[in-house]
Amino acid sequence: MTSSVLRRARLLAAPVGLLLLGWIALASPAAAHASLVSTDPADGEVVATSPDAITLTFTETVRLTDGIELLAGDGTVIPADISGSDAVVTITPTETLADGTYVVGWRVISADSHPVAGGFSFSVGAPSETTVALPTVETPHDVDLVRKTAEATRYGGLLVATGALAFGLLVARPALRRSPVARRRLLRVGFGAAALAVVGAILLVPLTAVWQAGDTLASFGSAVVDSATWTTSTGAAALVLGLALLVGAVTVRRAPELALAAAAVALGSLALVGHTRTYGPVALVLTADLAHVLVAALWLGGLVGLVVVFSAGRDVRAGDLQKAVHRFSAVALGSVAVLTVSGLVLWWRIPQTVTDLPDSSYGWHLLVKVVLVVVVIGVATFNLRHLRRSRTIDARRLRLMAEIEAGILLLVLAVTAGLITQVPRQEPVQAASAERAAITRELDLGEGRTGTLTLTPGAVGTNAAQLEVVADDGTPVSAVEPPGIAVGIEEFELGPFRSTLTEVAPGRYEGSLDLPIPGTWRIEVGVRVDRFERVTDSIDLEVKE
């Protein structure tokens, strides 16, 4: 093994190791994107008497906002206490509801930081003759545009900065060592891109708070001075990105291994928020996402690095330029393969469909991104064939083609900034008139206690879980702590994934389970009936598509 190969391996060891550590730290069980799967009363249901509480059950833990309200049929706001516990939101009216129709409008924040909103109605006694329309909440266009711009700035700046660093240390190091002009220019480009990434990440924190609340840009200043704005996952991602890029900038000249490691950590900050944190199996999806981002940085940053090296003209030796171009062509070829595989994995686990893509904003963003990537792959393939057939390098021509590739990739980034703000797929809400398939199993919880576990719809994907625990005489049994559920599938060595259920009534608990693939799932339920005794029972459940 040559010394140059050993040196490159040593350079890669630190960042790859830190990426793996980040993967282990971030890989925790997660459900699908937050969706409302059931309500009590159900949408459209007519109940005989005023309910003591109205519950909304989501597919994952949600965070409350001020956008939850109970309205009478004439639009009057009904006073109510709002509370949330894990995946269940409870609305408790402070007064008995009179006969008539009521509308619930809701807006919550899912685990991937995306706001989710909607509404449903129910009636007490009999429906009202006239009712207000279900509430709709749309993000103001100016907030949407500015947030997407900040997102694109963060992504683009980070990918260029980290990719240019990798290009300089792993691909064009000999050329840069002998060309002070090219080295200075590449450093300026890298530092400038890093600064843009930090600015975009910082602006994104209050903009996300405004977006989540459904406010206008006029509330941006209030979000900036609100301390709660900066303690969110978006704030944590900005902090990690900023500190990592600062370390990389300080150490790039004297400790390149540490600079590469810092760049890897900065790229990993993108996985702290977004769709990949809320779709499972999380280990697979997160790995694919990190690989997707890493090769995108190598490709885009490498193209920018090539343009910088070409711009140095005669200051770069022809032999060094030729070596850099050939090395980068190998990197680009590998990037296409990894991008394709990781992109297919992400598509399989997130949208999971092709025919429905044109029916949603997320689908259109994804289709445009795929088309642009296919175009840039075509340009790269043309360049690679020309390079292999030519004995000498036409620097001017290659610089032009590199600029074209980089320009298309920047368009891909702009589309991606819009893509990550969209909801990939929405689960249908339970309707009173719809017959929903469900699977019910009995559990033996010892000493005459029986548990009834119901999963709806009892198929692959996110399932609403309901557990009722009763004694022999039919009286409800309340646990001293939230019951726990562990699910796993031995065939594919998945799990156990653990979650807890929330008590919505004495002896009645609700939550959600994500069963991402078909097969025989082992489901274990544990209930602590007193301080000293925790009883468990398990079932094997055959889950189909």
pLDDT in tens, 385-398: 665 565 555 666 66
Residue type, 454: T
Q: Which of 67, 7, 60 is nearest to 35 (CA)?
A: 60
Instruction: Examine the pLDDT at 185 and tell me if it is beyond 80.
Output: yes
CA distances from 168 to 157, 172, 392 (A): 16, 5, 22
For residue 529, count other CB atoms closer than 10 A to its CB.
17
The pLDDT value given to residue 161: 92
Let me know: does 512 contact 462? Beta carbons within 8 Å.
yes
Which of 15-29, 37-51, 324-338 is modeled with the greatest confidence? 37-51
Q: Is the pLDDT of residue 3 over 70?
A: no
Tokens found for residue 235: 């704030």
Query: Between residues 478 and 250, which one has the greater pLDDT?
Result: 250
274 has pLDDT over 80? no
Return the amino acid letter for 307.
V
pLDDT of residue 242: 93
Give the C-alpha separation, 523 to 465, whole Å.
11
Q: Where are the domains of the chain?
A: 36-124, 140-419, 439-543
Q: What is the DSSP string of 376-420?
A: HHHHHHHHHHHHHH-SS--HHHHHHHHHHHHHHHHHHHHHHHHHT
CB atoms within 10 A of CB 361: 12
Average pLDDT, the chain: 76
Distance CA 525, CA 402 (A): 57
Among the ranges 32-36, 292-296, 309-313, which has the highest mean pLDDT value? 292-296
Can you give the length of the chain in residues? Answer: 545
Share of the chain above pLDDT 70, in %: 71
Looking at mean pLDDT, say which of 14-28, 129-143, 447-461 comes out highest: 447-461
Q: Tell whether omega for the bond before 140 is within 30 degrees of 0, i.e. cis.
A: no
| Higher per-residue pLDDT: 235 or 13 | 235
Angle between helices 282-311 and 318-349 (to 10 degrees): 150
> Are the beta carbons of 238 and 72 closer than 8 angstroms?
no
Residue 451 has pLDDT above 80, yes or no: yes
Contact 62/108 with Cβ under 8 angstroms?
Answer: yes
Rounded Cα gap, residues 146 and 203, in angstroms = 9
If pLDDT is split at 50, 70 and 90, which confidence band does 254 have? confident
| The two domains 36-124 and 439-543 share their CATH topology (first three levels equal) | yes
Range list of H helices, 252-389: 256-268, 282-311, 318-349, 361-389
Distances (CA, A) of 159 to 195, 215, 302, 407, 419: 12, 30, 10, 14, 17
pLDDT of residue 201 exceeding 90: yes
Listed range (312-321, 339-348, 376-385, 423-432) with the worst mean pLDDT: 423-432
pLDDT at residue 363, rounded to an integer: 61
Q: How far apart are CA 111 and CA 39, in angstroms?
A: 20
pLDDT at 13: 45
Take residue 303 and report the two structure tokens written for it: 């193209």
Q: Selecting from 2.60.40.1930, 2.60.120.560, 3.40.50.720, 3.40.47.40, what CATH number does the domain 439-543 have?
A: 2.60.40.1930
Q: State mean pLDDT over 493-515.
A: 78
- Tell me which CATH code domain 36-124 carries: 2.60.40.1220
Q: Which two tokens stand for residue 420?
A: 């990550």
Distance of alpha carbon 385 from alpha carbon 381, whole angstroms: 6
What are the phi and psi torsion angles at 194 (to 5°)?
-65, -40
DSSP 3-state of 510: strand
The pLDDT tens digits of the residues spanning 431-448 come to 443 444 578 888 888 888
